Chains A and B, each alone.
Chain A
Amino acid sequence: MILKFVWENIRHKPMRTLLSILLIGVPVTLILTLTGLSHGFVEDSRKRAAGIGADIRVTPAGSNVLSFSNATMPLKLVDWMRAQPHVAQAMGTVVAPIGGFDALIGIDPPAFDKMSGGFIFDEGHTFQSPDDLLIDAWYADQRKVRAGSKLNILGHDWHVAGIVEPGKLGHLFVQMGPLQDLQGGAGKVSQIFLKLDSPSNVDSVIEYLKKKDDSFNVLSMAELESLISVDHIPLLTPFLHAVLGIAVVIAFLVVLMSMYMAVLQRTREIGILKSLGAANSLVMSLILAEALVMGFCGTILGIALTYATQYAIHRVMPASLPQAVVYIWWPIAGSIAIGAALLGALYPGIIAIRQDPIEALAYE
């Protein structure tokens, strides 16, 4: 019977109900989109790291797993590492952040091709001049450019020589030399990738390199992939907490206002229920059940809207903002929305149970 009451009340005021559900759904979407973006970025980074085909990554000491460092390691270190036992290939790259999570990667094309198996070209060709730029298909979609277009990055006009399949280290590639010159870091690299004669030698080579020189971060690619997580995206965790807080406040206020209005509108009905002998617990249950339904429907709508934001973001920024669907966050976002909705319904519920039945019955 409680469900009948709730259903008829919801049906009786469809606009109020739909608006409330929509407003509860928005913070759910906000949470799921943000977590989807962070997890999408991490997943994309992980795939691109794996796509290089290396076994070990060496970076300057103190560098973050995901942050891009300037080129500070000497290029001759690449040659030195290549000469170490079990190291089959060594490749230095220069990473130049260009805003957001994107970076221009300077590579040594022969070494890169040898280690990764080379680019697969959708359009155009490989590097032919110092200003040539290769971009992956996602970035090409995002910037709406094709092979032959010009792109100004870091104040330099680059010629898009080719569009390549995504999944190898970055989204934008130039030759290492021109990028070093542009950054004033001639003879320096940001990171070095090593491919060994056998993956079984990874641990021993890492130990060996650390003993030789402990001023670098030496990580196996497997370890690196496991370390690429949301926790390593700078400032994301506090930002996520702030969004969660905002979501709670929005859902709380929406339901508070909605149920407060509903209780005022239904003053007479509450009086009727009380005249029939409805206990305070039943009156409160009806208010909370309605909030629960709105919270649940808001969660479902919020999840559905997340797919809409995913589609929209993928259409606009497929390379810079990959958005994953993070199922584990569905119940978390839902719990937040429903919990806040129930919290928001408490005060109107208390008002309802405190109403004097005679005054409520006389309410016009």
Chain B
Amino acid sequence: MNDPIIRIRDLRKVYQMGKVLVEALRGVNLEVPKGEFLSIVGPSGSGKSTLFHIVGGLTPPSGGEVIVAGMDVSKVGNSGRTELRRKYVSFVFQKFNLLPNLTAGDNIRAALYISGQKTDSFAPEFQNVLDLLGIAGRLDHRPSELSGGEQQRVAIARALATKPAILLADEPTGNLDTANSLAVLSLLRDLNDRLGQTILMITHDAEAAEYGHRIVHMRDGRITETSTTGPRV
């Protein structure tokens, strides 16, 4: 772990809900070194999803500085955030969010196509990732033909296909049973260990958060505590 790949200074986000202004983030400061697996935990309304969305370029910040993979997210517009999503970050969502009309393989190709990479065949190293995820034989199936665990592994494969600087995982085990949850978390940790993939995961689940190197606790739009996890066996 070395230079910060995410650097956040005094990040603020205010939403307008009708005539009411809601402060979702109230001055967040955070640095995430390259190669770290960071877990963010907190109750609903703590601001962890907002932080996730800003780092992923899905919504702009209201104030402060957010630098992700060298791009100052607070100073770019919609097209800049689109470029951030296309080149530097990838998402894994709780609801998998696979394109339902495409096969698993085409879902991965779609991500490659959007990022401007070749789609006719997968690189050998990515083939290894597919083997590691255990979905190499399931690529011709549509999402509706896959189990929840398989769908989430396809989503992880799709997220990794474009070799993003940061993998952003939003409650990746929220829709999975215990066995599949453990499998997915182990995979994420394994991918982090083997590939040095930076991962930022938000979760409600304290046990899931333990898979990260570090846990950031949030409440009421602020980081309240940061703790380091012990080594995993």
Contacts and interface: CB of A to CB of B under 8 A. Distances in A.
A278 B97 contact: no
A293 to B, nearest CB: 15
Contacts of A275: 56, 58, 85, 91, 93, 97
A8 B101 contact: yes
Contact of A12 (B84, B91, B101, B113): B101
B59 A277 contact: no
Interface string B109-131: 11101110001000000000000
Interface stretch (A17-25, A228-236, A265-273, A298-306): A265-273
Interface in B69-94: 78-79, 82-87, 90-91, 93
A282 B97 contact: no
A11 B91 CA distance: 27
A357 B86 CA distance: 14
A319 B231 CA distance: 93
Interface centre among A4, A276, A356 (most CB of B within 10 A): A276
B102 A277 contact: no
Contacts of B18: none
Contacts of A326: none
Interface residues of B, number: 30
Given A4-B102, A276-B110, A277-B114, A358 B58 contact: yes
A5 B99 CA distance: 10
Interface string B179-219: 00000000000000000000000000000000000000000
A277 B93 contact: no
Contact of A276 (B59, B78, B83, B85): B85
A277 B110 contact: no
Interface of A: 1, 4-5, 8-9, 11-12, 268-269, 271-280, 282, 356-358, 361
Given A280-B82, A361-B93, 9 more contacts: A1-B110, A4-B102, A8-B102, A275-B93, A277-B83, A277-B86, A277-B115, A279-B86, A358-B58
5 contacts: A271-B97, A272-B98, A275-B56, A276-B86, A280-B82
